[in-house]
Amino acid sequence: MEGEINPSENNSCGREINPSDNNSCGREINPSDNNSSGRELVAVTKKERKIFRASRNVLKGVPPEIENDPKLKVAMEVLPKNYNFEIAKTIWRVREAKAQHIALQLPEGLLLFATTIADILMEWTDAEITILGDVTYGACCIDDFTARAVGADFLVHYGHSCLIPVDKTGGIPCLYVFVDIQFDTLHFTETIKTVFSKSDPLALVSIIQFVGSLQGVSRELRECGYNVCIPQSRPLSPGEVLGCTSTPLPSGHTVVALGDGRFHLESVMIANPDAPAYLYNPYTKVLSREYYDQATMKKVRSEAIEKAKQAHNWGIILGTLGRQGNTNVMHNLEKQLSSAGKDYIVVLMSEIFPAKLAAMSDVDAWVQIACPRLSIDWGASFPKPLLTPYEAAVALRRAEWHPWTYPMDFYANDSLGNWTPNHKPPCPCGLTRKTGCKGPKCPASVKVSQDSN
């Protein structure tokens, strides 16, 4: 693969980290390095690898009789030791809630552990277990509706951050388990030291499973003199990115993403088209240079928007896969379409396919409230324009279209407009919390509560 840095391959054109070097901040370049192409670098660490294990003591409130139960520890031995499924915490929370029926929801990559987890929870809680087997793409797909429909009184959602707050999950108690995955952070750190200089400003990002490790790596790099930032788009955790949500970075930064696929990194590349991007896969220990064809994406999306501007009959798709659909965004779209004199129909869909939309041939343009990346990545495969809510706002002249940048702020609290679920109207003072806004409904917090009465 072009642009790969394969740390497991001993190539004389690469850079080798001297295993006897006691200075962890040092970097040794192999004197035989004559790779003038700059397309492949090799980082090799020869000393024995230390694999960091997940801490089982994830919450101080877990009673010791659960946390230290020897039988429970034996039962958990069948699960990967570097995956933290927070079993003890889950048992404690289920007992605290006096739950009788637990629904487990896992993404496809973790589904193979579902029956093992179910067996453990049944034995230690005496609750009935239902595994929700429908596809789960992200935290937006949390399926509290189905959990309640099958009679569950407690939902455990694995593998994603709490994008939908627990007080919004339809009255059913919900526990998010991030499934923190520990890996060889030493190799990741040494690879960064080998490839980048201390003068390179770096932005480290990852999926939620590696956010904890990312913080430790960033601290070590800073201690060694590296210029490292961990960007945050609230309500996400520092360093966390979603396929639809990432923050603009300071100028001049290079992105280093941690994960086993580029879907989430693409979100960062779309939001930051000028930032060089690298992806480190913690399983293969390969660091690769990644690229995104921003110009072609923008051209395709602009053409769809222009075509939609001529449409009179619109279709609004409200996603029903978990919590993907958002009725506030839908109502705002309905108002905008009505104000523009457009006819529209609302269609509910769990998954969106070209053949389904082609069957409704009277609709001239679609806007889907499900996943923005469906339109960005696959919109050209549909017979009629399939817009995101942001693109629909552009088509209806409610938002600006920028020829180079594209907002990836779908779940951001500080999103640009009411085409996103968490958007909050700007304060009349014109400032943000960072620049001096006093919050709730400012101006200067209603003049400091009318000068304290």
| DSSP per-residue codes, 414-452 | T-SSTTSTT--PPPTT---TTTT--STT-HHHHHHHHHH
Distance CA 175, CA 172 (A): 10
**pLDDT greater at residue 450 or residue 250:** 250
Highest mean pLDDT among 4-8, 178-182, 429-433: 178-182
Distance CA 68, CA 56 (A): 10
CB 154 within 8 A of CB 97: yes
Q: Which pLDDT band, with edges at 50, 70 and 90, does 25 fall under?
A: low
Distance CA 63, CA 92 (A): 8
CA-based nearest residue to 126, from 149, 105, 99, 152: 99
Q: Which CATH architecture has domain 294-395?
A: 3-Layer(aba) Sandwich (3.40)
Distance CA 401, CA 126 (A): 56
Distance CA 245, CA 410 (A): 6
CB 164 within 8 A of CB 111: no
Residue that the structure tokens 């001529």 belong to: 310
CB 270 within 8 A of CB 408: yes
Distance CA 373, CA 267 (A): 9
59 CB neighbour count, 10 Å cutoff: 11
Q: Tens digit of pLDDT for each residue in 370-419?
A: 999 999 999 999 999 999 999 999 999 999 998 888 999 999 999 999 99
Q: Is 90 exceeded by the pLDDT of residue 13?
A: no
pLDDT score recorded for residue 43: 52
Distance CA 292, CA 284 (A): 22
Residue 88 DSSP SS3:
helix
Distance CA 117, CA 97 (A): 18
Distance CA 326, CA 243 (A): 17
Running DSSP on this structure, what letter comes out for residue 370? S
pLDDT score recorded for residue 390: 98
Question: Which pair of tokens denotes residue 273?
Answer: 């088209």
Distance CA 151, CA 188 (A): 45
What are the start and end residues of each CATH 3.40.50.11840 domain in the chain? Answer: 64-181
Q: Which amino acid is at 316?
A: I
Distance CA 142, CA 324 (A): 8
Q: Tens digit of pLDDT for each residue in 313-345?
A: 999 999 999 999 999 999 999 999 999 999 999
CB 257 within 8 A of CB 241: yes
Domain 4-50+183-290, what fold?
Rossmann fold (3.40.50)
Distance CA 410, CA 161 (A): 15
CB 410 within 8 A of CB 372: yes
Backbone angles phi, psi at 195, to 5 degrees: -90, -35
What are the start and end residues of each CATH 3.40.50.11850 domain in the chain? Answer: 4-50+183-290
Q: Tens digit of pLDDT for each residue in 172-194?
A: 999 999 999 999 999 999 999 99
Domain spanning 64-181: which superfamily? Diphthamide synthesis DPH1/DPH2 domain 1 (3.40.50.11840)
Average pLDDT, the chain: 87
What are the start and end residues of each CATH 3.40.50.11860 domain in the chain? Answer: 294-395
